[in-house]
Amino acid sequence: MKKYIVFILLIAAILTDNKIVVAQNDKPLYTAALGVQAFTFRKSFPIDVAKTLDTIKMMGFTEMEGGGGRMPPEEFKKLCDDRGISIPSIGVGYDQLVKSTDSVAYRAKIYGSKYVMCAWIPHDNGVLTFENAKKAVDDFNTAGKYLKEQGLIFCYHAHGYEFQPYENGTLLDYIFKNTNPEYVSFEMDIFWMQFGGGDPVSLLKKYGNRWKLMHLKDMKKDTKKDLTGLTGPENDVPLGTGQVDIPNILKEAKKIGIAHYFIEDESNYVNEQVPQSIKYLKSLKQ
């Protein structure tokens, strides 16, 4: 009887003391540094690099993925350093990665980056073939090995077109299985994974810590999906307003130890949408 009374009193305390309940649910879900993909500001960087970086700083970003375009890397790095913005990851084109791996590594080191990301496998007619994927696997293993020797980590940014069927899975499965984990890691773009018909949470669980980086972006709820890896900017909406399950993705990403997150907004309204996305991220609770 005494145990029963104690139990009832405990339940009553929980129901009447809102502070107890709130304290259990008031921890922020997103606790990583606030990062942005440079492509988000693709229209303003060519006009004025310094002012664009001022905007990025003003929004609260302390990390950026990307580089200074045609600006000498030393100069761009100095501008970022002056504003407290680090560059943990840079993006490179496929041909650069394969044909100029040494210069890619050199540039990454100037920026102080740890990761080198490639976001596109060349393919014709909008269809990734097995031959395309096989060549990419060979090239990624070779480039990834060299980059590792230079103290860098190569990440392939999957783009959604890799969900072409192959054997009992997809070409994305083939790329994961046939790239050497010592040399090749991955960046998840949660928008493109969803656009290609994949489930970001399931893919995070399936391939675990082979995912190192993440692009945070959301997709308009009625967007038509396909395997092109291409869609209009109107389908890129502020985080939390679309169809992507951001909270559960972040929970799983935390479990596997994603190293860096970058908001990427490909819409034509980044100055309005990016602050909304930041506010949404900060509002999420565990």
Q: Are 262 and 64 in contact (CB under 8 A)?
A: yes
Domain that holds residue 62: 32-283
Q: What is the pLDDT of residue 23?
A: 44
Which DSSP symbol is given to 156?
A: E
Q: How confident is the model at residue 22 (pLDDT cuts 50, 70, 90)?
A: very low
Residue owning tokens 């304290």: 23
CATH (domain of 235): 3.20.20.150
Residue 102, domain member (yes or no): yes
Residue 1, domain member (yes or no): no
Residue 193, domain member (yes or no): yes
- Read off the pLDDT of residues 93-113 as tens digits, 9 standing for 90 and up: 999 999 999 999 999 999 999
- Reading the block at residue 111, the tokens are 């920026």
Q: Are 190 and 251 in contact (CB under 8 A)?
A: no
Q: Are 93 and 118 in contact (CB under 8 A)?
A: yes
Residue 20, domain member (yes or no): no
Q: Are 115 and 155 in contact (CB under 8 A)?
A: yes
The count of structural domains within the chain is: 1
Q: How confident is the model at residue 19 (pLDDT cuts 50, 70, 90)?
A: very low
Residue 202, domain member (yes or no): yes
pTM more than 0.85: yes
Neighbouring residues of 102: CB distance < 8 A, sequence distance ≥ 6: 146
DSSP string, 169-200: EEHHHHHHHHS-TTTEEEEEEHHHHHHTT--H
Interatomic CA distance for residues 150 and 230, integer angstroms: 33
Q: How confident is the model at residue 8 (pLDDT cuts 50, 70, 90)?
A: very low
